[in-house]
Amino acid sequence: MAERFRLSLAQLNPTVGDLEGNAAMAREAWTEARDAGADMVAFPEMFLTGYQLQDLVKKPAFAMDVQRVLARLAEDCADGPAIGIGGPLPGGAKPFNAYFVLQGGTVAAQVLKHHLPNYNVFDEKRYYHAGDPSGPVRVGPLRIGIPICEDAWFEDVTETLAETGAEILLVPNGSPYHRGKMDTRQAIMVSRVIETGLPLVYLNLLGGQDDQVFDGASFVLNPHGVLTHQMPAFEPALIHVDFENGPEGWQAVSGQKAALPDTWEADYRVMVEALRDYMGKTGFRQVVLGLSGGIDSALVATIAADALGPENVRCVMLPSRFTSETSLEDAADVARRLGTRLDTVPIGPAHEAVLETLGPIFEGTEPGITEENIQSRLRGVMLMALSNKFGEMLLTTGNKSEVAVGYATIYGDMAGGYNPIKDLYKTRVFETCRWRNTHHFDWMKGPEGEVIPPRVIDKPPTAELRADQKDEDSLPPYSDLDVMLEMLIDKEASVADVVAMGYDRATVKKIESLIYISEYKRFQSAPGARLTERAFWLDRRYPIVNRWRDNSGN
């Protein structure tokens, strides 16, 4: 009979800083793995502490607590399968990003991350020392090479492990989602398998942390890049992978292969899971949001209903004298279709009172954007009052196009604790609404069917802060604006590059200027779900004070 090794893979959702809770989750998975006859149960990168830790990882008291919880976990799980689990290891001025192998009641081995990512959302050179590459760790009959996350994106670490006797590669990851990430991961891991000739286990973290969502979707590859196991995306799972030692060495016995979502489902799931975990991990159960009758707030209300259940969503219509009857009807229709509560809080009297109060100071000036923005800020005041009174987190509803050019009122409609659509351009907002109207899955807590009325999707966007106002009075059509924004922001293209696509130079320069002068607003904006590699906050960091402008193409 062929020699066998059972490796249990725990794709689970830890919470940053909840050391005891994360360790309890590990014990539960270890017990299930032990009962299934596993030789080892593996957890993702930084599972014990959650990820990313940012400056929390440098706090000495936190580091001591991690070591205490780790030692007790090893003691509690002494009689049974080995445990592989990620966490920080003290290292003087900075810790190491480490992966611990627990056997027989102690930390039997530790592997240190060598390549520290320092791009996009990662700042690991700020937080960690780089460890030296190490050899494989023996667990029972098997020598396991453990390249931690980024170490598997470079051939040197995996090559060293293969040369020093590794028989399989276990890659613990904290790899957050962005559109198209899964294809990139699999392509790189297939390269490592082909280069080394070894089976590879890619074990990814799960769950939302601030703006990032770790999407799981762990998988196992045999030599020649053959997929043997595919774990689900966005779902907790514990699977048992059997390896057999035959004439060609250790190989995984083929097992379950979950179907992965397409891009539209994945993006929407990220927005739902990001909100669900942000709420759950911060202790909130219910949300409140302004429902204007427009498409952005309708989509946010739908995401909230899918994440939390309609009974936990309070929608508020805050009409002014500029609010159309159509908007009132559409907001009511959205709330009815979703099954959420809808309250109406008119802001007209408050607006008149503020204008009267400021009248002596404003005397002799022409009414304009100041008076318009008072309405938006009054809505923020009302919504924050409801949030405070009832303990409901306020959601803000600005899409990426608006956030990019500052087409939002700071301390007004930008007020809130989280923004699910912050990284979704307006053109994708339209398509996402159409997609949600025709798709429903078990993980959605909201109703199925056409939950966003077609009239809401099709009508011209407007802030309704003055009579007959339309977004296109101030901005190019979103079909054009979003192309310019993707070029200038996501691709860091020059003005000349965008003009070469056929756009008017004066318009492109105006959009470039709006992007730069709105930096201070984004600096103060609510966090939101990351969908792309150029999301605002950690992916794209610009100075607030910045006089440089691109004069190419003159």
Q: Give the residue numbers marked as catalytic.
A: 45, 113, 149
User: Where is 507: in which H helix or E strand?
Assistant: helix 505-517
Q: Report how far residue 47's alpha carbon sits from residue 10's, in angstroms, rounded to the nearest whole number.
A: 10
User: Where is 271: in which H helix or E strand?
Assistant: helix 263-282
Q: Report how far residue 56's alpha carbon sits from residue 544's, in angstroms, rounded to the nearest whole number.
A: 26
Q: Which of 229, 211, 271, 233 is nearest to 54 (CA)?
A: 211
- What torsion do the CA atoms of 456, 459, 460, 466 make, to the nearest 10 degrees? -70
β-bridge mates for residue 243, sequence order: 5, 252
By the 8 A CB rule, do 203 and 152 touch?
Answer: no
Sign of CA dihedral 277, 280, 283, 285: positive
Residue 208 tokens read as: 């939302």
β-bridge mates for residue 41, sequence order: 8, 83
3-state secondary structure 203-217: EECEEEECCEEEEEC
Q: Report how far residue 533's alpha carbon sits from residue 535's, in angstroms, rounded to the nearest whole number.
A: 6
Q: Report how far residue 270's alpha carbon sits from residue 208's, in angstroms, rounded to the nearest whole number.
A: 8
- What torsion do the CA atoms of 121, 408, 456, 287 make, to the nearest 10 degrees? 60
Per-residue DSSP letter, 416 = S
By the 8 A CB rule, do 415 and 467 touch?
Answer: no
Ramachandran sector of residue 250 (left: φ over 0; alpha: ψ -120 to 50; beta: rest) = beta
The DSSP annotation for 162-207 comes to HHTT-SEEEEEE--B--TTHHHHHHHHHHHHHHHH---EEEEE-EE
Tell me the HSE value of 232 on the side-chain side, using a 13 A CA sphere: 10
Q: Report how far residue 277's alpha carbon sits from residue 280's, in angstroms, rounded to the nearest whole number.
A: 5
Q: Report how far residue 553's alpha carbon sits from residue 53's, in angstroms, rounded to the nearest whole number.
A: 43
